[in-house]
A and B are shown apart, each in its own frame.
Chain A
Amino acid sequence: MENMPFALSDLASLNGEITLAIGACVVLVWGAFAPSGNRTGSRFAGVTLLFVLAAMAGVMFGVPAQIAAGVTSAFSGQLAVDGYGSFFSALFLVAAALAIGASFRFLDDEDAHAPEYYFFMLTSLIGMMIMARAADLISLFIGLELQALSVYVLVGYLKKDRRSTEAGLKYFILGGLSSGIFIYALSLVYAVTGTTNLEAIATSLAVPGTTENPILILGLILLVVSLAFKVAAVPFHMWAPDAYSGAPTPISLFISVASKAAAFAMMIRLLFVAFGPMAASWTALLAVVSVATMTFGNIAAVTQDNVKRMFAYSSVAHAGYALMGVVAGTEYGITAAMFYLFAYTFMNIGAWGMIVLFRREGMPCDRVNDFAGLIHRSGWAATGMVIFLLSLGGIPPTIGFLGKWYVFGAAIEAGYGWLAVVGAINAAISIFYYLRLVKVMFIAEVDEDVTLVTSMPLNVTLALSAAVTLLGVILATPFLEWVQSAALPF
């Protein structure tokens, strides 16, 4: 491996990331010279969107061409070149594109400086894509930190808003702690196996007796702990409600979907490829985490009066559902988790996007009561929100139902019938707070203070999310085939 020279074709496998990096530089340099103020946010948003779409083209067309040419890894085994990586890369890029749609007007309204915002969004994207593709502990950690550091800044981006800065700081401290645990766990694994390559780790674990090594077991436990931190699973979820509710809403939208999916992408590859031989230990551990996550997330969400906090806890619960697929430890389970994250991306972006609509004199209107009587102000908005909420609750005919079908199925197939029952009961609990919002929107009287602040890009974001959420089941076949082929490498 060491002898392999650096090849130009390695760069080709990075075309998506490189495009984003160029975009980040362009935005930053242009931002330094462009006059500030005057509501220039939408220009930067437009440019960023272009680069994101170009990167998307690179991922969708470039990587499959490489796979077809027989390339399986790049940079001496640091990065994998496979459908799994491109599936997640595409998912992050879609989430970013939709988040940019929600940010177009938001930054100007908040009177925030746009260039750095988009710069960090692009760098976090690069980090996420590397997390999804890393085949080596070193590149994995680099991707993770690139993503995390960018996101810390984004969460605390509104420097005049106390909630935002507080959230950024909290997220930074707890995220830093979990990164510390993560790299400590990696060092323990390296101590036992003597390698950082994921496949090589699996090979050395397959040697009889290795898996009983207490250092390795400690390493695995710490690894699961830090991964649980990253996906915001109970009991390591405490940062999530604060970070999501304090962050600028489009950023909550972005990280509650993309960062979570990136953490899952990393978790699945790490556990299945490197720690496949120890599956029995980590599935048992994660089964408990999954139950705790969905149950606690849902119960905590029931009591919230703030919509952003409610959705923050709801997204904790959704991590629990997606974990069911990982717990299954099967190919079906991976497919289930991946499809669940796919479905979750659109329905959750839609729901958070709706919150972006609500503003009052520089204040985000995020109390449940701010949604009162929405049906009388905008039938479209209310209908859209109902679609997202039903989907989050797993009610057909929305895509969330198909997601639940998959994760419950994965649990049952792997013999975790009880986990599926817990998931089912949780789905019923979650409906309680989703319906609460529906009730307020459709039955309560209008609270006239609140105006809807819409813009074309935000409407496009909402319309696209609603379309996928509503029609995702009817037109599911191509998506499912994509997910299935992407889950194949394991």
Chain B
Amino acid sequence: MSPTLLTLVVFLPALGALAIALLFGKERENEIRWAANIILFADFILSLFLLRGFDFDTTELQGVTRMEWIPTIGVEYFTGIDGMSLALILLTTMLGTIACLSSWTYIGTRIKEYYVYLMILQTGMLGVFIAFDFFLFYMFWEIMLVPMYFLIAIWGGKNRMYAAIKLFLYTLAGSVLMLVGILALYFYNHSVTGEWTTNILAYYQLSIPSDLQWWAFLGFFLAFAIKVPMWPFHTWLPDAHVQAPTAGSVILAGVLLKMGTYGFVRLSLPILPEASIQFAPMIAILSIIAILYGGLVALMQKDWKSLVAYSSVSHMGFITLGIFALNPIGLQGAVIQMLNHGVSTSGLFLVVGLMYERMHTREIAAFSGLGKVMPVFATLFAIMALSSMGLPGLNGFIGEFLILIGSFEWNPVYTYWAVWGIVLGAAYLLWLFQRVMFGEVKDDKIAALNDLNLREIATLVPLAVLAVWMGLAPNAVLKTIEPPVNAIIERVHPGYFDGSDITPPPLPSIPGAQMAADTELEPVDEPLAALPQSLPQVLPIEG
């Protein structure tokens, strides 16, 4: 898998945004729509090529680019992916395409700006998953905020200004504290190794004193917990979701929330293992509160979209619980649940958006009997709802099941309480389905509704297919994320795998460090390095 391809996948949307901004006039709305959709779809297709030649058995980074950037402070442009990043990149490119497609008629004003922001956002999100340099990581992390702010503030609902600024301020407050944490580690690393570096992998090898770990963890925790969002930092989320346009909600729920959990897995656990263990019980309790609170509040919602938003809080609680169970099953469950949540909750937000576009209301009480009028819509909604509530055979089940096993291994009490979240999930989703889909067709407005058109079906079907596929054949995904997960658990609990038949792989090493050793041996290695190139030429002749 080539580094060029990876770079292209990440930066294509931003280049596309630049091209649209410079080449198209405001009034050429349809051309802009086509261009944006084509670019993001092409990006999705390109990202599928990342699978080709990807080695699923290693934890080492693949497709690595390492360039000096700001050597005076040890910053480099260092990107690459492992199994977890790959999975999240594929999720992001897919949801980006779907979000773009779903905006075709939903967004009616300031088309050009809209697509430019959407595409910059896409690059920001993808960048977070490939950055292995703190500086670069932080840049991508913050860049996302600006277009998301505009998406909500310009195309959002009535209360959009409040929601947009709340989102921005909450997230920013967390991020800057993370920045302080990063800097604290940066100077600690310098004091120990004498080297200025922001290379994340270099920090995997540090053993940091407990008190610094504690403080740095706190900084990281605030940034990630706000992004996830964990209870009690969740209050921005319902506002943002309810006010955001459909595409904004899809991206927000599908990808942006994953940034927080990704940060926990990629940074907090391997860099600050000791503090992770210390904080785990507290985080588990917050997660359980989120699971139950999110579920109960969702049950009471009168607004369709805020119901889905609160269900997000509940589901994200499962993910953080799985991560801080700090065992392979829980962590695998958490990572796969990140993907599942991206698929099913995005699907649910699409469903709400489709309905809102038709009826201009999200009041659950305003709907009934939709199932009779819109059978296709009803089917797809049913699949998404069932997947979200964790029906066996669909994707949500796999993640929640693994997380519950993982947390049971850690502490059955946590599992006991978390299980109620699943019951609540079934309750609020089925009740929602019952209220809007069944019953009599109330008025002419509903009777006159058109079922989904081809474009709308195209936005939902891929998600439904994925939900089924990941539910029936989760191994394909589990296999991808298993090596990195095992490596992280070994780092947090050294010796965890002793006595089992699993040999945990090492955490990724810094690419290039190996190369440096090679260059010292250059005179010896050179003839060997030339050998593989000559072999294929020789062999066919002999054959």
**B107 contacts the other chain (CB 8 A):** no
B150 contacts across to A, CB distance below 8 A: 442
**B153 contacts the other chain (CB 8 A):** yes
Q: Is B176 in contact with A424, judged by CB distance below 8 angstroms? A: yes
Query: Contact partner of B165 among A386, A420, A439, A480, CB < 8 A?
Result: A439
Q: Is B143 in contact with A413, judged by CB distance below 8 angstroms? A: no
In the complex the two chains form, what is the Cα distance from A266 to B25 in whole Å? 51
Q: Is B179 in contact with A405, judged by CB distance below 8 angstroms? A: yes
Q: Is A480 in contact with B172, judged by CB distance below 8 angstroms? A: no
**Interface size of A as a range:** 20 to 34
Residues 106-157 of B contacting A (Cβ, < 8 Å): 113, 135, 138-139, 142-143, 145-146, 149-150, 153-154
**A29 contacts the other chain (CB 8 A):** no
In the complex the two chains form, what is the Cα distance from A473 to B142 in whole Å? 14
In the complex the two chains form, what is the Cα distance from A435 to B163 in whole Å? 13
Q: How many A-B residue pairs have CB under 8 A?
A: 83
In the complex the two chains form, what is the Cα distance from A304 to B143 in whole Å? 27
Residues 413-451 of A contacting B (Cβ, < 8 Å): 413, 417, 420-421, 424-425, 427-428, 431-432, 435, 438-439, 442-443
Q: Is B183 in contact with A408, judged by CB distance below 8 angstroms? A: yes
Name the CB-closest residue of B to A430.
Answer: B172
Q: Is A424 in contact with B179, judged by CB distance below 8 angstroms? A: yes
**A481 contacts the other chain (CB 8 A):** yes
B176 contacts across to A, CB distance below 8 A: 394, 424-425, 427-428
Q: Is B177 in contact with A424, judged by CB distance below 8 angstroms? A: yes
Q: Is A480 in contact with B73, judged by CB distance below 8 angstroms? A: yes
Q: Is B184 in contact with A412, judged by CB distance below 8 angstroms? A: yes
Q: Is B153 in contact with A442, judged by CB distance below 8 angstroms? A: yes
Flag A382-401 by CB within 8 Å of B: 1 or 0 each.
Answer: 00001000100011110001
B161 contacts across to A, CB distance below 8 A: 439, 443
Residues 463-487 of A contacting B (Cβ, < 8 Å): 473, 476-477, 480-481, 484
Q: Is B146 in contact with A395, judged by CB distance below 8 angstroms? A: yes
Q: Is A439 in contact with B153, judged by CB distance below 8 angstroms? A: yes
A353 to chain B, nearest CB (A): 21
Count B-side interface residues using an 8 Å CB cutoff.
Answer: 32
Q: Is A396 in contact with B142, judged by CB distance below 8 angstroms? A: yes
Name the CB-closest residue of B to A483.
Answer: B72
A372 to chain B, nearest CB (A): 14
Q: Is B71 in contact with A421, judged by CB distance below 8 angstroms? A: no
Q: Is A476 in contact with B177, judged by CB distance below 8 angstroms? A: no
A390 contacts across to B, CB distance below 8 A: 146
Query: Contact partner of B138 among A396, A412, A432, A477, CB < 8 A?
Result: A396
B184 contacts across to A, CB distance below 8 A: 412, 417
Q: Is B165 in contact with A435, judged by CB distance below 8 angstroms? A: yes
**B180 contacts the other chain (CB 8 A):** yes
In the complex the two chains form, what is the Cα distance from A227 to B337 in whole Å? 57
Whether A480 contacts B180 in the complex (CB less than 8 A), given A417-B215, A435-B168, comes out as no
A170 to chain B, nearest CB (A): 34
Whether A409 contacts B183 in the complex (CB less than 8 A), given A395-B145, A401-B142, A480-B73, comes out as yes
**B233 contacts the other chain (CB 8 A):** no
Name the CB-closest residue of B to A395.
Answer: B142
In the complex the two chains form, what is the Cα distance from A208 to B401 in whole Å? 72
A396-B143, A412-B180, A413-B187 provided; 9 other pairs, C-beta below 8 A? A386-B146, A396-B142, A404-B179, A408-B180, A421-B180, A432-B165, A473-B70, A473-B139, A477-B71
Where the two chains meet, the residues of B that have a C-beta atom closer than 8 Å to any C-beta of A are 69-73, 113, 135, 138-139, 142-143, 145-146, 149-150, 153-154, 161, 165, 168-169, 172-173, 176-177, 179-180, 183-184, 186-187, 215
* A/B interface sample: 18 pairs, CB < 8 A: A375-B113, A386-B146, A394-B176, A395-B172, A401-B142, A404-B179, A405-B73, A405-B135, A408-B183, A412-B187, A420-B180, A421-B177, A424-B176, A424-B180, A439-B161, A476-B72, A477-B72, A481-B72
